[in-house]
């Protein structure tokens, strides 16, 4: 297998830089979260339902708001992220809001060196798998950490979103849907604060739907539900407008295309 250490460490440095800006941004609205607001969205809340006393592993948790939101709803939660600063902030938030949760700082693929238990639920969401080079290894970890009969749930931005030139206007295609190699660019600012003083090299990977679904199937997960959504839960892309349902759609575009997808699966 190709050694991705350089890419992962470069991305870890980027997320260490992003975290302080995200903590202070209106996008994350940490003060409201501290007062009891839930950071989770209707699709994942509906899909996972009552999590009271269920063990939950949150992969790529950033600074833990969703992990802690699940904990507030009764889950026994563990969050994992590669960023030192994000996990430091997650632990601080957990203490400040008096909501217990465990947090592990590591590259996701190194998780077996830090964690040896199984969970009722494995959860991941919004902007995660594009930072991972290998879907089969990712799915194997999910299978490893799920109890037999346990539930895996992902909700994520659809790969089609990344094919178009930004902002969404002409819808000029600038990438291949099946481009699954390493892609390099320079990140300027961050989705939570566009003018943040960040100018950093980054690496990412686009994964087709078939590569995601087949990796899960290959590793013993049974797909129960697959959904595609014509909106984003967040105003983190260009040229979006919020409609009456509270979600964000491409502005002035009469035709819809999937902006997010979700998969719910069970370990056999």
Whether the upstream peptide bond of residue 190 has omega within 30° of 0, thus cis, is no
CATH classification of the domain holding 177: 3.40.50.150
152, β-bridge pairs = 122, 265
Average pLDDT of the residues in 78-104: 98
Instruction: Kindly report the backbone phi and psi dihedral angles of residue 252, in degrees, each rounded to the nearest multiple of 5, phi listed first.
Output: 60, 25
Confidence band of 188 (pLDDT split at 50, 70, 90): confident
Domain membership of residue 35 (yes or no) is no
Residue 27 located in a structural domain: no
**C-alpha dihedral over 215, 218, 223, 227, to 10 degrees?**
20
| 39 within some domain | no
Range of the domain at 200: 5-22+46-267
Q: What per-residue confidence (pLDDT) applies to 172?
A: 81
Query: What pLDDT does 254 receive?
Result: 64
Percent of the chain with pLDDT over 90: 76
pLDDT in tens, 143-185: 999 999 999 999 999 998 888 877 777 778 777 888 767 888 8
Global model pTM greater than 0.85: yes
223 pLDDT exceeds 90?
yes
Does 255 or 110 have the greater pLDDT score?
A: 110
Does 84 fall in a domain?
Answer: yes
Tell me if 108 is assigned to some domain: yes
pLDDT at 54 over 70: yes
Mean pLDDT, the chain, rounded, equals 93
Asked if residue 33 is part of any domain, the answer here is no
Tell me which of 104 and 160 has the higher pLDDT.
104
Per the structure, the count of domains in the chain is 1
- 239 against 25, higher pLDDT: 25
């Amino acid at each position: 297998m190709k050694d991705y250490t350089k890419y992962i460490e470069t991305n870890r440095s980027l997320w260490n830089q992003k975290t302080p800006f995200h903590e202070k941004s209106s996008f994350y609205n940490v003060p409201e979260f501290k007062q009891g607001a839930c950071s989770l969205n209707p699709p994942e809340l509906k899909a996972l339902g009552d999590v009271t006393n269920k063990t939950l592993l949150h992969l790529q948790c950033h600074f833990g708001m969703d992990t802690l939101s699940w904990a507030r709803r009764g889950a026994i939660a563990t969050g994992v992220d590669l960023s030192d600063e994000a996990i430091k902030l997650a632990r601080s938030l957990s203490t400040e809001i008096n909501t217990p949760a465990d947090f592990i700082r590591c590259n996701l693929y190194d998780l077996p060196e830090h964690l040896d238990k199984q969970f009722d639920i494995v959860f991941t969401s919004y902007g995660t798998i594009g930072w991972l080079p290998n879907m089969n290894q990712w799915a194997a970890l999910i299978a490893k950490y799920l109890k037999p009969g346990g539930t895996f749930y992902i909700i994520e931005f659809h790969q089609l979103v990344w094919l178009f030139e930004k902002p969404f206007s002409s819808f000029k295609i600038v990438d291949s849907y099946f481009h699954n190699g390493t892609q390099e660019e320079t990140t300027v600012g961050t989705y939570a604060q566009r003018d943040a003083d960040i100018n950093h090299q980054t690496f990412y990977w686009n994964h087709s739907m078939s590569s995601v679904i087949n990796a899960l199937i290959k590793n013993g997960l049974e797909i129960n539900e697959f959904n595609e959504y014509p909106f984003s839960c967040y105003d983190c892309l260009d040229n979006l407008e919020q409609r009456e349902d509270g979600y964000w759609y491409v502005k002035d575009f009469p035709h819809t295309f999937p902006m997010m997808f979700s998969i719910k699966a069970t370990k056999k």
